[in-house]
Chains A and B, each alone.
Chain A
Amino acid sequence: MDKLDDREVRQLAELAHLALSDDERASFRGQLEAFLGYAERIQALNTVGVEPTSHALLEAGLEGGSRLRDDRPRESLDRKAVLDQAPDASDGLFKVPKVLP
């Protein structure tokens, strides 16, 4: 069952910014096909009349609409503490390799 060809795996890897070797692509292709096969089996199930359970909150019910947050500001993080974690930062900015404007 060929659900994915090598070109598609290559494309997915590119979109995910992953550099995969030929061997890795072959191995991931097999694994991805297994995922898709599993999804296909689930999709074959008859779910008419079955309530979605994709979210815990949905299971709890959404009587009265979604719970939403009040538009009240909260303390943000200390800039120095955050920038200290970054691989490169100065002038209050994160620094990244030059991006063309």
Chain B
Amino acid sequence: MTEYETVIGLECHAQLLTETKLFCGCRARFGAPPNTNICPVCIGLPGALPVLNGRAVELAARMAFAVGCRVNETSIFARKNYFYPDLPKGYQISQYDRPLAEDGEVCIRLDDANKRIRIERIHMEEDAGKLLHDGFMGSSTKSGVDLNRSGVPLIEIVSHPDLSSPEEATQYAQAVKEILEYTEVSDADMEKGNFRCDGNVSVRPVGTSELGTKVELKNINSFRFLARALAYEVERQIAACESGERIVQETRLYDPDADRTVSMRSKEDAHDYRYFPEPDLPPLVLEPTWLEEQKRKLPELPEARRARLQSDYNIPAYDAKVLTSSRARADYFEAAAKRSKNGKATSNWMMSELLRKLKASGVAIEELPVTPEAFGELIELVEKGTLSGKMGKDVFEKMFSSGDGPAAIVEREGLGQISDSAAIEELVRTVIANNPEQVAELKAGKDKVIGWMVGQIMKASRGQANPQLARETLVRLLEES
């Protein structure tokens, strides 16, 4: 039986975090009532002229530098011509033969090694509008068009076909999303359509170097669907090869409900976009000094931050990976660790209590009522022995529900571990007096009873005695008696 290998390249589209659209001053934000952020430029009225958004260029260049691309000093906008009801001008302004940036790479982690996925290019383009198919009267014969999204700035990140499995492709897309979020180039929110992937998939017999006919997969808006769509398509192509069928170069859509890909009408000419240079925009020329400055301003990237957290706070690789899975999470950790002055303990508390609580409550870390400083203070109280670990967890629950700081809660609830030796001694004396049998057993050498006795002391103190001090006091008093 022939063995096949999979060849995948991804095109990821990300919406840039600008206030306004790419070529006009309309707001670019998600969620406005339909057709309220529109103007002559973005709905394609005759005579309207596009003017490029400087912030969009800055963000696009930042992403390019973050993945090690070369940013071209001159790039050119081009018209991509096609007809669709969500495209008011009849063309999309994009970049074609001279894109903003070229030749970068993104590193993905496989089980036993790292793999570099080469980035072919990053270019800027405008988004199209949005079609609505239901939710209004007459939707069986008509579609609705909302042009709020029309002209919103995107970058398209095109990888080389370096991905050899659906899993690698998903890992890569996640890595790209993570970099976009970390650098604050895009919120990369898939649910809002701010991060979408198209895949180019082909298979070939192992050992051959010629690429098989590639099929383009569109309409993928979650990582789960990305993996499933690619896996389905790989299987379909292998089955076709096995039965001697010819694979047609076409675009297929993933249907998540049926978990399969379906062919879009494969008109051979439909892909002829007749690109030509956009006459309404001059070439984009970027100063070398400006480019250098953008490169210098690049924030710390996830991989680097992971390594730094591991060494600066002395935490395991696994913890560092979990804590840096989003920038907000990593920021929270560092702020809390700064306050608690104990990175390892802060990491433990975050990995267990905090993440569990976030997961259970569905609250995002950005909306957490417990500030990182308050969280760090709590950890400090536990580390100092003012609170036992158990009490610390209770206080954390109360901080979460009330938003109050740990000191206020300890004060209000009369909590605080009893570390006062006189108070502890009194408790221990009472427990000794009340349990003569066990004391006798202890004296006879039954050391195991000591744990039970400490338990009684804790119980008598309603959990507030410092257990270490209680045990020491018990041993001392028994020896003295």
Contact = CB atoms under 8 A, between A and B. Distances in A.
Interface of A: 11, 14-15, 17, 54-55, 57-58, 62, 64-66, 68-77, 79, 82-83, 88, 90-99, 101
B33 A57 contact: no
A76 B36 contact: yes
Contacts of A79: 33, 35-36, 38
B285 A94 contact: no
A97 B131 CA distance: 11
Contacts of B35: 79, 82-83, 92-94
Nearest to A60: B282
Main DSSP-derived SS at the A contact region: loop
B263 interface: no
Nearest to A93: B144
Nearest to B147: A94
B136 A93 contact: yes
A66 B52 contact: yes
Given A58-B283, A71-B20, A71-B55, 9 more contacts: A15-B274, A58-B282, A62-B283, A66-B285, A68-B52, A69-B51, A76-B27, A88-B142, A94-B146
Contacts of B36: 76, 79, 92
Contacts of B285: 62, 65-66
A68 B53 contact: yes
B34 interface: yes
Contact of A77 (B40, B54, B283): B40
B332 to A, nearest CB: 28
Contact of B146 (A15, A66, A93, A101): A93
Given A55-B282, A65-B285, A92 B33 contact: yes
B142 A96 contact: yes
A71 B56 contact: yes
A43 to B, nearest CB: 15
Contact of A71 (B53, B85, B137, B287): B53
A97 B141 contact: yes
B37 interface: yes
B136 A66 contact: no
Contacts of A55: 282-283
A76 B33 CA distance: 13
Interface in B114-172: 131-133, 136-147
Given A69-B25, A93-B34, A101 B19 contact: no
B272 interface: yes
Contacts of A64: 287
